[in-house]
Amino acid sequence: MNKCAFPEEITRLLARHRFGVLATYGGEYPYTSLISLAFPDDFRYLIFPTLRETRKYENLCHEKRVSVLLDNRSLEKSPEKLYALTILGSASETDQAMHAVFKEYFLQRHSHLAEFLALPQTALIQIILKKVILVEELQKIREFDCSPAE
């Protein structure tokens, strides 16, 4: 797999997060959900599990475009060190070819969720990263496209 052409600073920030807020489109309004997440080493995908009977799964079946927010507000008290990462991408259930690989990446970060992943009603979702937007110091904004590195 090709690695995304993100600067090391961005991959370092992405790698430190284990949880995020997923935004899906719910028809009338956007819908947000807290998710446990992981990134494979190439940072082309974000992976998370969900039950197929959830609103987020239903929303993903109707609209694949999503965003995920990662931030450090609960860890950082100094406003000049705050950041938020918004990940824009396209979500779908993992295909059979990649399911075992993505499951292993996810369990490396969240081994306590092995039983949850083993449930037949659990779907493993992959988000193909399209863009990451970094907001620092409440006003400094930088955007990074996820195009494969040369």
94: in domain: yes
Per-residue pLDDT tens for 31-47?
999 999 999 988 999 99
Pairing of strands 122-136, 30-36: unpaired
Closest to 17 (Cα-Cα) out of 101, 111, 78, 85: 85
Q: What is the C-alpha to C-alpha distance for residues 111 and 118, in angstroms, rounded to an integer?
A: 12
3: in domain: no
| Residue 120: pLDDT over 90 | yes
131: in domain: yes
Instruction: Provide the whole-model pTM.
Output: 0.90
**Domain, as residue range, for 133:** 8-139
User: CATH number, domain at 109?
Assistant: 2.30.110.10
Rounded to the nearest integer, the mean pLDDT of the chain is 90
103: in domain: yes
Average pLDDT over residues 15-26: 94
145: in domain: no
Closest to 68 (Cα-Cα) out of 21, 33, 25: 21
Q: How many structural domains compose the chain?
A: 1
149: in domain: no
